[in-house]
Amino acid sequence: EAESLATARFAVAAHRGASIERPENTLAAFAAAIAHGADGIELDVALSADGVPVVVHDDTVDRTTDGHGPVDGFTVAQLAALDAGAGEGVPTLAEVLALAEGRVEVNIEIKAPVAVPAVVEVVTGFPDLAWIVSSFHWPALVEMRERAPQSRLYPLTLGVGDPEVMRRHAVEAGHPADRVEAWFTVLVEQLGKAGFEPALAFAERIGAEGLSIWEDSLGAPEIDRIHAAGLRAYVWTVNDVARARDLADAGADAICTDDPAGVLSVRG
Ligand code: G3P
Ligand code: MG
């Protein structure tokens, strides 16, 4: 039985699965995370052309599959027929939840706010699933609360990090430059100017369980502030083991990483 992210000393969540070793957001990556003993997995959700929640990070399939074009231009059958690496297609949310139920907690990150009603319908089919929901699109979390009142919400925020640093990381990670520009225009508008305190205030207002916060420049003062607001600190994306140890010492409740095996070693 997976330890809840809310009770573990610090929980280790696999970012897009064990994406350091398997193609991101594939069943193979999530299975590898489970095999390593991760407490949780994180995945990104968009909507297919025929309205099915699917697990893919970008708003196009270009970077992570052999296909080209917007995710919402493909039916779920067409997405399944693409090659997402690992000899499999783009998985549906339901496929990943079936793998995770009873094994790991799932952080469902809403990339496409239009997916919220369908996500609620899918999670309803997994009564024994432990799940939290996060999004950069804060109104999507308000809608989650309305449609699924027990939702454990985690607003996503850049926290005290520098958006320019994140922009550089995204380009270095292989995201197409034009897509990065599009995301960061939105991100900086929504979050970059807003900073840390508005994220805390929003989280408190919607009765969130925690903040899902970028690790850049984060330390004990900010984590203490999160805890003082009655919230948990879920920190992403930490692939350096020494940095993970520092953040754990600073009080992080959950660390989201591409390398769950490495970060689990910090816990001894
Ligand atoms: O959910 C945390 C993290 O995944 C947010 O950024 O771009 O990796 O989805 P991104
Ligand atoms: Mg994500």
Nearest C-alpha to atom 3 of ligand 1 is from which residue? Answer: 236
Whether 5 is in a domain gets the answer no
Atom 4 of ligand 1, nearest CA residue: 15
Read off the tokens for 214: 């970028």
Nearest CA owner, ligand 1 atom 1 = 109
Report which DSSP code applies to 155.
E
Residue from 20, 55, 57 to probe ligand 1 pocket by mutation (most atoms less than 8 Å from CB): 57
Domain count, the chain: 1
Any domain includes 45: yes
Whether 1 is in a domain gets the answer no
Per-residue DSSP letter, 92: B
Q: How far is the CA of 75 from the centre of ligand 1 (A)?
A: 24
Which residues approach ligand 1 with their CB closer than 6 A?
15, 42, 44, 57, 109, 134, 156, 212, 236-237, 256
Report pLDDT for 179.
79
Report yes or no: 13 and 40 within 8 Å, Cβ to Cβ. Answer: yes
Residue at 6 is within a domain: no
**220 in a structural domain:** yes
Taking only the tens place, the pLDDT of each residue in 96-150 is 999 999 999 999 999 999 999 999 999 999 999 999 999 989 999 999 999 999 9
Nearest to 26 by CA among 67, 69, 83, 74: 83
Q: How much is the pTM?
A: 0.94
Q: Answer whether residue 3 is part of any domain.
A: no
Which of 30-44, 162-176, 178-192, 235-249 is predicted with the least confidence, judged by mean pLDDT?
Answer: 178-192
**CATH number for 89:** 3.20.20.190
Distance CA 67, CA 267 (A): 40
Q: Is 10 left (phi over 0), alpha (psi -120 to 50) or beta?
A: beta
Ligand nearest to the CA of 236: 1
Lookup result for tokens 């990070």: 57
- Note whether 25 and 16 are within 8 A (CB): yes
Q: How far is the CA of 213 from the centre of ligand 2 (A)?
A: 11
Q: What is the mean pLDDT of residues 184-206?
A: 79
End-to-end CA, the chain: 19
Instruction: Give yes or no for a contact between 27 and 19, defined as CB atoms under 8 angstroms apart.
Output: no
Give CA–CA dist 211/107, Å, rounded. 12
> Using 50, 70 and 90 to split pLDDT, how confident is the model at 81?
very high
203 part of a folded domain:
yes
Domain boundaries, position 180: 11-266
Judged against a pLDDT cut of 50, whether residue 7 lies above it is answered with: no
ipTM for this model: 0.99
